[in-house]
Amino acid sequence: MPQYNHILLTGGAGFIGSNFVRFVRAHRPDTHVTNLDALTYAGNLENLSDLEGDDGYRFVKGDIRDADVLRELLSDDNPIPGVDAVVHMAAESHVDRSILDSQPFITTNVQGTQTLLDAVRHANDGRDTPIRFVHVSTDEVYGSLPLDEPNEKFAESTPLAPNSPYAASKASSDMLVRAAHHTFGMDTLITRCSNNFGPYQFPEKVIPLFVTNLIEGKKVPLYGDGLNVRDWLHVDDHCEAVLAVLEKGRSGEVYNIGGNNERSNLDLTHTILQLMGHGDEMIEYVTDRPGHDRRYAIDAGKLERDLGWQPTRSAWPDALAATIDWYKSNGDWWQRVRSGAYRDYYSKQYAGRSVH
């Protein structure tokens, strides 16, 4: 099984990215990780404050749409071993924001992905072994499943049918990665995961939003009838799966990642309320989001059969209870995110010195 010397991770200051950095450094201590992040609203360097001083990790503030930054990072002139793998997580990812303004989703998710692919392709010139490129996508590219057919799930062969601007932008980026493999022979792989949960998730997402609202004595806003179903995956299970795809996946393939953990939003809400000692009086039903997909469900059998991976950290309700406890114990973190104070961390930590 190959282990990579140096991973360039895009979007590593976000929720999944920061957990992936920590997972790699813990489980592959000989692998260097360079974290390239533009630090938009969801990028938070406080997520990785525990890795300050780690010689195997560095942060670079930069945009995946900036070809010059990418060229420099992928150059063999790096002071540490040259990049031999890219894990691409940088993305605009919130459906509600994409409905309000889809433009950032197109420029980042589509144009940014193509810029990154171009940079990797050019960096491969003259290399004996090409840079491996793992593109982290979402089950939302498949569209929606019916509630009355519980045995139907998304497989890697399911046609793409995105229903939101966010999902459409991710489907577009998936197709660009596919084209790079088939046209240029690039060593690319695509992962599509179900809904993640766990520490350091931006508190506009449903689980941290509901948990932090309840901590503050506020009601939880539940969309529509609450019957929309999602497959919940702990972020550490996701990180382990992405690492397995990087190290053992077959070039050009797509791998679905799921938690085998389908719950309706109403069931999720009731479980959170129960675990936090509240009743239904804390639910505030709100107008549903436009085009809200009814059900997502992942068939991760290919990943289990081919790479030997299966989720081990997503068990319900214990994994949810542990996540709730994390937010209870880390009030300073999410309060700084909600107030916007977390944005000051970068300028204070890196004032007057280069991040390269």
Which residues are tagged catalytic?
A: 139-140, 166
Q: What angle do the packed helices 206-215 and 265-275 form, to 10 degrees? A: 30
Yes or no: say if 52 and 27 are a contact pair by the CB < 8 Å rule: no
Spatial neighbors of 196 by CB under 8 A, at least 6 apart, are 15, 16, 232, 233, 234, 235, 238
- Integer CA distances (angstroms), 64 to 82, 109, 137, 165, in order: 18, 9, 16, 20
Contact criterion met (CB below 8 Å) for 169 and 98: yes
- Residue 254's identity, in one-letter code, is V
Q: 35 φ, ψ to 5°?
A: -105, 110
Cβ atoms 265, 203 nearer than 8 A: no
